[in-house]
């Protein structure tokens, strides 16, 4: 870490007003490291200064530095290695951790399937358009495999669940390949939300064969359009797909509400 950048960021943080002065010193260190990463465009693999250097820089105890490093490690921002060549190394926060933390928050907001689809209606067509021309042959083969899993009529609860997961994995692959990190994260995150908050509740309802057939139809058409690299067709198909899926989810949500009322 560049010493002058460290000191400048630290001074700005500590002098930024009364609210900053009430923040624990360990949290100030955490925020200073985050700002350094953003301002200096630091990449994963860069080492943080050792404990002694951090103690001098922030004028704090070893315990405070270790508390800050532990916080950064829990947040997934660093990896702490032991031994002679050990220390704190910056790492890219893994997607599963970022997604899980945000989903933990939303679990208590109780979003419904239709809530999620209101955002998917906006995001998925754009992801699909961006991914045209970015899919490798192996990606197309995987999309075809996921689509084929959903072709048979499910004859068990396990197969129904496998098909619902495959449908969402189809969309997650597109999100991973779209080239826009924000859209990609949002797309994958919404699919995770559907797995957590919708599928594991609604899979208990009677099989919605028309919903399955609609999803299968659009995925087959999308794969064909991706092969042709027809961006206009891809965007149109995805927009129609999301509109149909949204309507089916409104129906499913009504059925689930009715089922809960009967149960009580």
What CATH number does the domain containing 78 carry?
1.10.10.10
Q: Is the pLDDT of residue 4 over 60?
A: no
Average pLDDT over all residues of the chain: 85
State the pLDDT at residue 10.
53
pTM of the complete model: 0.78
Q: Is 82 helix (H, G, I), strand (E, B) or coil?
A: coil
State the pLDDT at residue 8.
52
For 95-111, what is the mean pLDDT?
Answer: 87
For 65-84, what is the mean pLDDT?
Answer: 89
State the pLDDT at residue 18.
43
Q: Is the pLDDT of residue 260 over 80?
A: no
Q: How far is CA 69 from CA 236, 249, 260, in A?
A: 48, 44, 46
State the pLDDT at residue 250.
86
Clarify whether residues 66 and 101 are in a common domain. Answer: no
- Predicted confidence (pLDDT) per residue in 208-236, tens digit: 788 899 999 999 999 999 999 999 999 99
Contact 108, 70 (CB under 8 A): no
Q: Roughly how many angstroms between the first and final C-alpha of the chain, as a whole number?
A: 60
Q: Which of 68, 90, 112 is the last residue of a domain?
A: 90
**H-state helical runs in the chain:** 3-14, 18-21, 25-40, 51-58, 62-74, 95-107, 113-131, 137-149, 157-177, 181-194, 200-202, 209-228, 231-263
Clarify whether residues 47 and 102 are in a common domain. Answer: no
State which residues form the domain around 58: 3-90
- Predicted confidence (pLDDT) per residue in 163-208, tens digit: 999 999 999 999 999 999 999 999 999 999 998 876 666 666 666 7
Q: Which of 90, 115, 134 is the last residue of a domain?
A: 90
Most confident of the following: 20-29, 38-47, 114-123, 228-237: 228-237
- Predicted confidence (pLDDT) per residue in 82-97, tens digit: 877 778 999 988 899 8
State the pLDDT at residue 180.
97
Cβ-proximal residues to 247 (8 Å cutoff; 6+ apart), any chain: none
What CATH number does the domain containing 142 carry?
1.20.120.530
Clarify whether residues 122 and 52 are in a common domain. Answer: no
């Amino acid at each position: 870490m560049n010493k002058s950048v460290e000191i400048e960021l630290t001074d700005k943080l500590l002098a930024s007003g009364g609210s900053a002065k009430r923040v624990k010193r360990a949290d100030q260190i955490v925020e200073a490291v985050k700002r350094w990463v953003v301002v200096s465009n630091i990449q994963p693999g860069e080492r943080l200064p050792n404990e002694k250097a951090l103690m001098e820089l922030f004028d704090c105890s070893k315990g405070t530095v270790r508390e800050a490093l532990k916080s950064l490690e829990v947040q997934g921002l660093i990896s702490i290695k032991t031994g002679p060549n050990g220390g704190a190394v910056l790492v890219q926060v893994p997607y599963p951790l970022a997604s899980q933390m945000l989903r933990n928050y939303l679990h208590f907001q109780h979003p419904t399937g239709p809530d999620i689809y209101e955002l998917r209606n906006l995001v998925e067509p754009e992801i699909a358009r961006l991914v045209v021309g970015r899919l490798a042959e192996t990606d197309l083969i995987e999309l075809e495999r996921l689509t084929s899993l959903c072709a048979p009529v499910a004859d068990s609860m396990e197969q129904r669940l496998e098909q619902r997961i495959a449908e969402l994995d189809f969309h997650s692959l597109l999100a991973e390949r779209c080239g826009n990190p924000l859209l990609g994260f949002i797309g994958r995150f919404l699919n995770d939300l559907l797995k957590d908050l919708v599928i594991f509740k609604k899979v208990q309802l009677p099989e919605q064969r028309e919903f399955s057939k609609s999803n299968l139809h659009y995925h087959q058409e999308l794969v064909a359009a991706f092969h042709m690299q027809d961006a206009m067709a891809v965007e149109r198909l995805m927009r129609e797909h999301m509109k149909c899926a949204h309507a089916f989810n409104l129906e499913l949500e009504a059925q689930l509400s009715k089922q809960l009322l009967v149960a009580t």
